[in-house]
């Protein structure tokens, strides 16, 4: 059993407000101003007997032996920063930086030079609730210092502290120089994923009425493009391609599919082609009444296929939503080139990618090369080739390392961006790659662009949701991850819903949704070690122990310690508070299940 040292301490957590924005506006001036502020902060912490044990440059966490010294340090800190800002004129190159401070006393774990525990977690969460320039303290701090400091202490109500408590009493401390600071905005994040009044639409794969199967790739490509165009309409919720295809390939009754995905409207269609001519026949079915509310036949030549797609989108959306403004469509068009030869190659390549087969993957790469050769401005050909290379690398079909393919991969991404900076596939891919590389700011930017273009694609919901969870936007991140599970339980390339459910458990952990996370976790067939750790943390948060879940205890007894340690270390990149919670759960509830294991810092 690892030796754990505990002590009672007062924790001060402080963070610079809007640091990233300041860096974007003027990097050198912001860095200089940050150093000036850090000299003030570090010096005052030392003068008041504190010790800094965690810093990320624009944030500091320190522990003190005295609550009074901690609060006095915070007061002097905010006053000193205020005085510095007062000396900076509008013409001055220096930046006026504001800081938030949270303070709490509690039992903590000391391991070498680091400190973990509730005191750290709550102080960090209080800091996040502050208005710029504000000091927020817990009730236990206020009771110790209210009558012993030269400052004003005022009740600030109760706050929801993520992963801590839904009703936590807090107080704000201010001085003559800082009394007029606005209260922290604790309103919930705007829910961009509310589906309450949004009809759900499913587009079933179109039937091929030709005897010649060689045209199947064209049918699948047109189907996907129409689905994508409709997905851009924010007023619609779209059942994913994979879920619709899975139903079409099964022997399930249509009513069962409608019930499972709460489908309000259903699009069915067929395609017949002859030479350069093609006939599309589509109908829109209202599932409640089982009546066809719209149907249309399109006889066109293949060279105006994009105009046909636009006409279908307009007709269907108007039938469902009436006169609603389509300004929110915000297409940011991702259409392939109108060069049909290049388009055909692109469709054949996508068909090979979706097959998830080694030979099909190699053939797909050839198709994308031919698409690019036919038209170098076909942005999607570059993006899909990069995606297919990633698929081959991940599945061991490509005899190269990530480092070896990165130059070509980056060149493909750059060429795609030059050809069409509004291609959602490209931004989805860049979001994934940037997340993997630890470039979180870039990942958020690309994920947001992809989501704004195609807000119902489950791949984008999951990818953008993941990076939001890892950068503190846990409400929206968790919502998007849960929507990905709802829209597309069995992700493309998977044989069951375990992957989507594991993603959802991660989201529930980060956004403090213990009940929902535990419910989903019990449905997972095979849990990796990191998910077992997350589920354990959710169980402890709700029940105080692991006892209600025998399956979890049994799995933890057999899990690999190295994987648990890696999961705890990995969490430190995203959220120190959650990392501390995971570490405590391991030390207090998991370590004794495997007596021979020791947690190494």
Q: Which domains does the chain have, with CATH numbers?
A: 5-174 (3.30.70.1230), 200-329 (3.40.50.10070), 496-601 (no CATH)
Our CA dihedral for 101, 171, 159, 164, rounded to 10 degrees, sits at 70
254 φψ region: left (φ > 0), alpha (ψ -120 to 50), beta (else): alpha
Q: Pairing relation of β-strands 99-111 and 114-117?
A: antiparallel
For residue 220, what pLDDT band results from cuts at 50, 70 and 90? low
Q: Does position 338 have pLDDT exceeding 50, yes or no?
A: no
CB 477 within 8 A of CB 448: no
Rounded CA separation 258/129 (Å): 43
Listed in sequence order, the residues at least 6 apart from 400 whose beta carbon sits closer than 8 Å to its beta carbon are 393
Which range is most confident: 183-192, 334-343, 489-498, 584-593? 584-593
Q: Which residue has the higher pLDDT, 41 or 286?
A: 41
What per-residue confidence (pLDDT) applies to 292? 80
What per-residue confidence (pLDDT) applies to 332? 25
Closest Cα to residue 422, out of 383, 387, 477, 458? 383
Rounded CA separation 532/551 (Å): 10
Enumerate the β-bridge partners of residue 135.
101
Rounded CA separation 290/357 (Å): 39
Cβ of 185: how many Cβ atoms within 10 Å?
A: 8
What per-residue confidence (pLDDT) applies to 319? 45
Which range is most confident: 10-24, 183-197, 286-300? 10-24
For residue 129, what pLDDT band results from cuts at 50, 70 and 90? confident
Q: Which residue has the higher pLDDT, 454 or 572?
A: 572
What average pLDDT does the structure give for the chain?
A: 80
Q: Does position 321 have pLDDT exceeding 60, yes or no?
A: no
CB 230 within 8 A of CB 244: no
Q: Does position 265 have pLDDT exceeding 60, yes or no?
A: yes
Residue 468 token pair: 């939001």
Which range is most confident: 13-17, 24-28, 478-482? 478-482
Sequence-ordered alpha helix ranges (H) in 281-423: 305-321, 340-355, 358-374, 379-394, 402-419
For residue 595, what pLDDT band results from cuts at 50, 70 and 90? low
- CA 268 remoteness from chain centre: 33
What per-residue confidence (pLDDT) applies to 178? 61
Residue 429 phi/psi, 5-degree rounding, is -65, -45
What per-residue confidence (pLDDT) applies to 313? 53
What per-residue confidence (pLDDT) applies to 125? 86
Rounded CA separation 574/307 (Å): 45
What per-residue confidence (pLDDT) applies to 350? 79
Closest Cα to residue 228, out of 245, 241, 217, 216? 241
Cβ of 241: how many Cβ atoms within 10 Å?
A: 22
Residue 379 token pair: 């942005």
Listed in sequence order, the residues at least 6 apart from 355 whose beta carbon sits closer than 8 Å to its beta carbon are 361, 364
What per-residue confidence (pLDDT) applies to 420? 77
This prediction has a pTM of 0.57
For residue 467, what pLDDT band results from cuts at 50, 70 and 90? very high
Q: Is 407 helix (H, G, I), strand (E, B) or coil?
A: helix
Rounded CA separation 129/135 (Å): 10
Q: Which of 71-80, 243-252, 524-533, 552-561 bottoms out in mean pLDDT, i.e. has the lowest?
A: 243-252
Residue 432 token pair: 């994934």
What confidence tens digit (pLDDT) does each residue in 425-445 have? 778 878 887 887 678 998 999
Mean pLDDT of 275-298: 77
Rounded CA separation 221/200 (Å): 22
Mean pLDDT of 163-192: 58
Cβ of 28: how many Cβ atoms within 10 Å?
A: 9
Residue 436 token pair: 């993997």
What are the counts of helices (DSSP H) followed by strands (DSSP E) for the chain? 23, 14
Q: Does position 370 have pLDDT exceeding 70, yes or no?
A: yes
Rounded CA separation 35/32 (Å): 5
240, with CB counted inside 10 A (0-12, 13-18, 19+), is: buried
CB 227 within 8 A of CB 453: no
What per-residue confidence (pLDDT) applies to 216? 62
Mean pLDDT of 146-169: 72
What per-residue confidence (pLDDT) applies to 42? 94
What confidence tens digit (pLDDT) does each residue in 27-49 have? 888 889 999 999 999 999 999 99
Q: How far is CA 519 from CA 100, 542, 547, in A?
A: 36, 12, 15
Rounded CA separation 579/163 (Å): 11
Sign of CA dihedral 444, 190, 487, 270: negative
Q: How far is CA 505 from CA 73, 516, 530, 531, 591, in A?
A: 39, 8, 10, 7, 22
Rounded CA separation 554/567 (Å): 19
Q: Is 98 helix (H, G, I), strand (E, B) or coil?
A: coil
Rounded to whole angstroms, the maximal C-alpha distance in the chain is: 89
Q: Is 499 helix (H, G, I), strand (E, B) or coil?
A: helix
What confidence tens digit (pLDDT) does each residue in 178-200 have? 655 444 333 333 333 332 245 67
Rounded CA separation 333/328 (Å): 13
Q: Is 7 helix (H, G, I), strand (E, B) or coil?
A: strand
User: Residue written as tokens 């709490």?
Assistant: 104
What per-residue confidence (pLDDT) applies to 191? 36
How do the residues of the chain divide into helix, strand and coil, expressed in percent and rounded to 5? 55, 15, 30
Enumerate the β-bridge partners of residue 112.
none
CB 466 within 8 A of CB 504: no
Mean pLDDT of 389-393: 88
Query: Counting every residue, how long is the chain?
Result: 601
Q: Which of 268-277, 325-334, 345-354 bottoms out in mean pLDDT, i.e. has the lowest?
A: 325-334
């Amino acid at each position: 059993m690892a030796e754990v040292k505990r002590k009672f301490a007062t924790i001060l957590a402080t963070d610079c407000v809007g640091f990233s924005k300041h860096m974007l506006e003027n990097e050198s001036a912001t860095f200089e101003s940050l150093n000036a502020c850090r000299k003030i902060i570090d010096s005052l912490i030392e003068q008041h007997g504190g010790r800094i044990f965690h810093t990320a440059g624009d944030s500091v966490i320190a522990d003190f032996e005295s609550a009074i010294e901690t609060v006095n340090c915070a007061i002097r800190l905010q006053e000193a920063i205020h005085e510095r800002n007062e000396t900076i004129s509008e013409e001055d190159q220096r930046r006026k930086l504001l800081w938030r401070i949270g303070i709490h006393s509690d039992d903590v774990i000391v391991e070498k030079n680091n400190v973990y525990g509730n005191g750290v977690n709550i102080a960090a969460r209080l800091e996040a609730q502050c208005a710029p320039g504000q000091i927020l303290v817990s009730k236990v701090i206020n009771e110790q210092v209210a009558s012993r400091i030269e400052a004003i202490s005022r009740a600030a109500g109760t706050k929801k502290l993520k992963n801590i408590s839904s009703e936590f009493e807090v107080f704000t401390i201010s001085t003559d120089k800082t009394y007029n600071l606005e209260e922290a905005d604790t309103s919930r994040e705007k829910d961009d994923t509310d589906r309450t009044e949004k009809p759900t639409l499913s587009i079933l794969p179109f039937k091929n009425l030709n005897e010649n199967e060689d045209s199947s790739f064209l049918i699948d490509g047109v189907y996907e493009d129409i689905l994508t165009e409709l997905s851009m309409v924010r007023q619609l919720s779209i059942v994913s391609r994979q879920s619709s295809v899975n139903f079409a390939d099964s022997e399930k009754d249509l009513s069962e599919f409608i019930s499972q995905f709460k489908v309000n409207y259903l699009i069915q269609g067929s395609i017949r082609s002859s030479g350069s001519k093609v006939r599309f026949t589509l109908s829109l079915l209202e599932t409640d009444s089982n009546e066809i509310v719209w149907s249309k036949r399109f006889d066109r030549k293949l060279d105006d296929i994009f105009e046909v797609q636009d006409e279908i989108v307009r007709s269907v959306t108007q039938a469902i939503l009436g006169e609603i403004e389509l300004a929110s469509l915000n297409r940011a068009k991702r259409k392939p080139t109108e060069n049909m030869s290049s388009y055909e190659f692109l469709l054949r390549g996508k068909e090979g990618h979706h097959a998830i087969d080694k030979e099909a993957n190699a053939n797909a790469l050839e198709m994308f090369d031919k698409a690019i050769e036919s038209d170098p401005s076909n942005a999607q050909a570059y993006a899909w080739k990069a995606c297919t290379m990633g698929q081959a690398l991940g599945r061991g079909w490509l005899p190269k390392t990530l480092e070896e393919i990165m130059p070509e991969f980056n060149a493909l991404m750059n060429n795609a961006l030059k050809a069409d900076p509004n291609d959602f596939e490209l931004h989805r891919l860049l979001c994934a790659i940037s997340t993997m590389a630890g470039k979180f700011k870039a990942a958020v930017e690309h994920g947001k662009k992809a989501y704004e273009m195609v807000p119902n694609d489950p791949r984008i919901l999951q990818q953008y949701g993941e990076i939001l969870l890892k950068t503190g936007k846990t409400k929206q991140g968790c919502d998007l991850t849960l929507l990905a599970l709802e829209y597309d339980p069995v992700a493309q390339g998977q044989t069951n819903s375990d992957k989507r459910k594991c993603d959802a458990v991660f989201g529930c952990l980060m956004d403090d949704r213990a009940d929902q996370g535990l419910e989903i976790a019990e449905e997972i067939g095979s849990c990796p070690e990191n998910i077992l750790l997350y589920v354990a943390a959710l169980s402890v948060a709700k029940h105080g122990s692991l006892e209600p879940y025998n399956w979890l205890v049994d799995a933890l007894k057999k899990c690999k310690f190295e994987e648990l340690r890696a999961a705890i270390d990995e969490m430190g990149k995203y959220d120190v508070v959650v990392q501390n919670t995971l570490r405590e759960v391991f030390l207090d509830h998991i370590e004794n299940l495997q007596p021979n294991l020791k947690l190494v810092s």
